[in-house]
Amino acid sequence: MGILSVRNVNKRFGGLKALDDVNLEVEAGTVHAIIGPNGAGKSTLLNCFVGRLEPDSGSVTFDGMSLLGIKPHEINQAGVSRVFQTPEIFGDLTLIENVMIPAFAARDGAFTLNAWGLVTTHGEIRARALAMLTDVGLADQAERPAGQLSRGDKRRLELAICLVQNPKLLLLDEPTAGMARADTNNAIELMKRIAGRGVTMVVIEHDMHVVFSLAEKITVLAQGAVIAEDKPEKIKGNHRVQEAYLGGAQL
Amino acid sequence: MRTLTLSRNDLILLAGYTLVVLGGPIIMAPLGAGYPDLLQKFVIFGIFAVGFNILFGLTGYLSFGHAAFLGIGSYTAVWSFKLLTMNPLPAIVLATLLGGLFAAVIGYICLRRTGIYFSILTLAFAQMSYNLAYSVLTPITNGETGLQLVQSDPRILDAAAGRDYGAVLPSSDLFGIPMNGYPGFYFCGVVSIVCFYLAIRIFRSPFGLMLRAIKSNQNRLNYTGLNTQPYALAAFVVSGMYAGLAGGLLAVVDPLAGAERMQWTASGEVVLMTILGGAGTLLGPVIGAGVIKYFENIFSAFNEGILMAAFDFLPEPIQHLMVNVTSLFVGEGWHLTLGALFMVIVIFLPGGLMEGFNRLSALVAGIVRGRRDGASARGA
């Protein structure tokens, strides 16, 4: 059994069957990509992992614990971090503050009434945050407000926010959407480095270049159902995938 | 005690605040505001606004009902005078605690919602408290007349200590020091310095950082493993305690409490103070409170006679014209001046008066640096 296991998940929005009996196993320490044409149900599936949506039936378990019916912050505290399609960061705060917040959350839990000690006296948290910023190449901008960053840098910052918590599972929703080619390649390098440390990753992606550079296993969704699941080189040659995803064109 | 040390800038801020408060009677004298009644209002409403800012300035939750806690603080303090003792210390401690208790209950319910719905809920609660104070709670609040001291109050602790106020109506005193006039102002001033110090601690703590994160991106905070609700509730309770304390101090310097203190206009006033001075800044709300109380007391006292004298140097028809125009903005019309000032600030300085000061100091610093660079360039 994998670290994340999705069994017979169904979700309906009115007359639309968004997820149709989806089964998925993510092995610990691997990069698992979920691809599929627009409207295939990729984001719906991801939202079922993080407490944003509740499936109509089926189960989602992470590390032996059900992720259904619990709040987003509880899922994060269990070790699941998420990167959003449009970077979700604290725009009014500085970069270092952006990364210190998750570091506090990882150390002190979901709520601590820590209103007396000053932030500056928590040197260990600051050091961790700064090391993380160095890791993603943003340390020189640590005291800048995060809202001023370029989109590519916001994405890096969001990765730093997630990684400083040492998550067991990292969920990435189109991590290179809207990026220029050079930025995309930088992001791939960064994600490869992260994967190299043994962090389990689930990536939803449109960009095939990104998917085939990163993924060790690919699940293909079409109209809410899993139509293929295999290693990247096998997926490339799969006829059903080419039918559904590429309209029959050769990859 | 390394954890007690503030950064250098914060120490300067605290020292500056302390100096201005303690030197208030001298500093405010040239502005015509150097008398104790107004100075008391400056520091008391300063406390109210500083506490409100911990909720609104940091988390972004706009409460329209904080006057309820101010009123609760006043009633609590007067009851403490009536039942326990005329000493202000138990009165303000109880006022703070009760303000916090009510804030915990009201906040718990209102924080089920965010944005405009949260504001409406707090407004509804405050109006409910106001109407209750006027009607069914009359045995506690004494309704329209307001809660007052009477000679026959039990004052258990004073009686136990063998203290008898005789035939006169007692007034609050701190171990023999009367709490009206300048001593009252200094008592409130010292309390406000402590409150200001605590606010600095909260601003600079991890807790304060989380509150700022709520305002910045609540969604991200949830997905970062933090439960935003208890943080917002804690901020609400802290601001409720500040409001309760401020209400208690109002009763200390003038021992009576009326329901009008809880009216929605009073809730709106603290919002104005905070925005006018600069929401989310430490000093802004205090300045905002000062400006509004100054206008309320000084501008409203201007009358035609004073204006006639002020425009005495002009030819008579112009003098009359000027008096007619300016009299709209003073006396009863002081709200007009305040409204105009508020509009100008919100439009041109969305960060409040503090943004104005910061821009001004940046401008001055820029000019100074420009001069120095120019000089060194010539030197080279």
Chain B CB within 8 Å of residue A154 CB: no
Q: Which two tokens stand for residue A89?
A: 């960061």
* SS3 per-residue string spanning A80-146: EEEECCCCCCCCCCEHHHHHHHHHHHHHHCCCCCCCCCCHHHCHHHHHHHHHHHHHCCCHHHCCCEH
Chain B CB within 8 Å of residue A251 CB: no
Q: Chain A 118-137, CB below 8 Å of chain B: which residues?
A: 118-122
- The 10 Å Cβ neighbour count of residue B232 is 24
- The 10 Å Cβ neighbour count of residue B350 is 11
| Cα dihedral across residues B136, B140, B145, B151: positive or negative | positive
- How remote is the C-alpha of B181 from its chain's centroid? 19
Q: Tell me: the pLDDT tens digits for A44-99?
A: 888 888 878 888 888 898 988 888 888 889 999 999 999 988 889 999 999 999 99
Query: Is pLDDT of B165 > 50?
Result: yes
Q: What is the pLDDT of residue B71?
A: 94
Chain B CB within 8 Å of residue A86 CB: no
Pairwise CB contact (< 8 Å): A50 & B2: no
Residue of A92, A110, A161 lying closest to B212 (CB–CB): A92
Pairwise CB contact (< 8 Å): B201 & A115: yes
Q: What is the pLDDT of residue A251?
A: 46
Q: Tell me: the pLDDT tens digits for B1-49?
A: 444 578 888 999 999 999 999 998 888 888 888 888 899 999 999 999 9
| Cα dihedral across residues B308, B314, B320, B324: positive or negative | negative
- Helices of type H across chain B: 8-22, 24-27, 36-53, 67-83, 88-110, 115-134, 138-141, 156-160, 181-204, 206-216, 218-222, 228-253, 264-277, 284-298, 304-310, 316-326, 334-348, 352-379
Burial class for B298, CB neighbours closer than 10 Å (0-12, 13-18, 19+): middle
Q: Tell me how close the Cα of A161 comes to any Cα of chain B, in angstroms.
A: 8
Which amino acid type is present at position B151?
A: Q
Name residue A226's beta-bridge partners. A221
The residue in chain A having the minimum alpha-carbon distance to the alpha carbon of residue B231 is: A111
Pairwise CB contact (< 8 Å): B206 & A119: yes
Q: What is the pLDDT of residue B3?
A: 45
Chain A CB within 8 Å of residue B213 CB: yes
Chain B CB within 8 Å of residue A107 CB: no
Name residue B257's beta-bridge partners. B147
β-pairing, B147-148 with B256-257? antiparallel
Q: Which two tokens stand for residue B275?
A: 């925005």
Measured between its terminal Cα atoms, the distance across chain B in Å is 49
Pairwise CB contact (< 8 Å): B2 & A165: no
Pairwise CB contact (< 8 Å): B206 & A82: no
Q: What is the pLDDT of residue B374?
A: 67
Chain A CB within 8 Å of residue B234 CB: yes
pLDDT band at A245 (very low <50, low <70, confident <90, very high): low
Taken as a whole, chain B contains a residue count of: 380
Q: What is the pLDDT of residue A1?
A: 63
* Whole-complex ipTM: 0.89
Look up residue B146 and give its DSSP letter.
Answer: -
Q: What is the pLDDT of residue B76?
A: 95
**A101 contacts in B (CB within 8 Å)?**
209-210, 213, 221, 224, 226
Q: Tell me: the pLDDT tens digits for A162-203?
A: 999 989 999 998 888 777 788 788 888 888 888 888 889 999
Which pTM does this prediction carry?
0.90
The residue in chain A having the minimum alpha-carbon distance to the alpha carbon of residue B222 is: A73
| Three-state SS at B114 | coil
Q: Chain B 193-212, CB below 8 Å of chain A: which residues?
A: 201-202, 204-210, 212
Q: Tell me: the pLDDT tens digits for A7-56?
A: 888 888 888 888 888 888 898 889 999 988 888 888 888 888 887 888 88
- Tokens 């100074």 map to which residue? B368
Q: Tell me how close the Cα of B276 comes to any Cα of chain A, in angstroms.
A: 20
How many CB pairs (< 8 A) connect A and B? Answer: 111
The residue in chain B having the minimum alpha-carbon distance to the alpha carbon of residue A98 is: B213
Q: What mean pLDDT do residues A140-166 have?
A: 90
- Return the H-helix or E-strand segment holding A239: helix A239-246
Query: Is pLDDT of A3 > 90?
Result: no
What domains sit in chain B, N to C, each tagged with a CATH number? 33-287 (1.10.3470)
Chain A CB within 8 Å of residue B57 CB: no
Residue of A90, A115, A118 lying closest to B220 (CB–CB): A90
Q: What is the pLDDT of residue B4?
A: 54
> What CATH number should be reported for the domain whose range is A4-246?
3.40.50.300
